[in-house]
A = this chain, B = another copy of it.
Amino acid sequence: MTNTPITEVPAHLRAAVDAAKQKVADLHAELPRWELVVWTAGNVSERVRDDRSPDGTGDLLVIKPSGLSYDDITAEAMVVCDLEGNLVEGDRAPSSDTAAHAYVYAHMPEVGGVVHTHSTYATAWAARGEEIPCVLTMMADEFGGPVPVGPFAIIGDDSIGRGIVETLRGSRSKAVLMQNHGPFTIGGDAKAAVKAAVLCEEVARAVHVSCQLGEPLPIAQEHVDALYDRYQNVYGQR
């Protein structure tokens, strides 16, 4: 995917980009609210689809700048990048995790939102390189099985992005625990990815606590399948 670089937001995407900036700014408030991040850690991004570019190479992503305090997040402060992670619009350097977000959008066309945090319990599983076993009905609902572990990968090239994509492609799980690092979650849009980040930490914590005093009881695969199927198709408002 090497293309003519995108040097500014095309006019036909202006409204969509501005709407995404507002949405992404608002959703960042959910990360400290649910205690998934401290200080400036963590980030939320959303894809802006370019309908004139059916192969997706014209798509953009909106993300938080690097090192910005959660107190200073506004729609205007958000930055826009292409799907190779290059800055297209914005006064600040994009989040240092932008390359990983961009790689996911470029290689998983169905993904519309990505979230990264260092939430405590998910990160603790990640530090041991252990998947979270599916022992809660809410896990079967949201993740359809265990939350898997991705490889150890160093920031700076596309190895984090590749690790996320290789782990989540073909998986029911919307969350991956990158080894020694922390969770990345995906969704149809940024809000769904934030929901997955919140629930990932919730199940990481509840299963951790349960394992502290013994062995949680497994849920039979047929029940996991039934719960997942129902939740994806029936829960919420239709």
Instruction: Enumerate chain A interface residues (CB-CB to B < 8 A).
Output: 34, 38-41, 65-67, 92-93, 96, 118, 120-121, 123-125, 127-130, 135-138, 152, 154-156, 179-182, 195, 198-199, 202, 205-217, 219, 223, 226-227, 230, 234-238
**Besides A34-B39, A127-B217, 10 other A-B contacts (C-beta < 8 A):** A38-B198, A39-B199, A66-B235, A118-B206, A124-B212, A128-B214, A136-B181, A154-B227, A180-B219, A208-B213
Alpha-carbon separation in the docked complex, A196 to B189 (Å): 33
Residues of chain B within 8 A (CB-CB) of A65 are 237
Could you tell me the distance in whole angstroms from the C-beta of A137 to the nearest C-beta in chain B? 5
- Contacts A118-B202, A237-B93; is A210 near B124 (CB within 8 Å)? yes
Judge whether A128 and B202 touch: CB under 8 Å. Answer: no
Alpha-carbon separation in the docked complex, A84 to B195 (Å): 31
Could you tell me the distance in whole angstroms from the C-beta of A134 to the nearest C-beta in chain B? 9
Judge whether B66 and A237 touch: CB under 8 Å. Answer: yes
Residues of chain B within 8 A (CB-CB) of A155 are 137, 227, 230
Residues of chain B within 8 A (CB-CB) of A38 are 34, 198-199, 202
Residues of chain B within 8 A (CB-CB) of A206 are 118, 120, 123-124, 127
A65 to B, closest residue via Cβ: B237
Judge whether B137 and A235 touch: CB under 8 Å. Answer: no
Alpha-carbon separation in the docked complex, A238 to B198 (Å): 31
- Contacts A128-B217, A210-B128; is A180 near B135 (CB within 8 Å)? yes
Residues of chain B within 8 A (CB-CB) of A209 are 120-121, 124, 208
Judge whether A217 and B179 touch: CB under 8 Å. Answer: yes
Which of A124, A207, A236 gathers the greatest number of chain B CB atoms within 10 Å?
A124
Task: Offer 28 A-B interface pairs, CB within 8 angstroms, sorted by A.
Answer: A38-B202, A39-B198, A65-B237, A66-B236, A67-B235, A93-B237, A118-B206, A120-B205, A121-B209, A124-B210, A124-B213, A127-B135, A127-B210, A127-B216, A128-B215, A130-B214, A136-B182, A137-B155, A152-B219, A154-B223, A154-B227, A179-B217, A180-B216, A180-B217, A180-B219, A208-B212, A212-B212, A212-B213
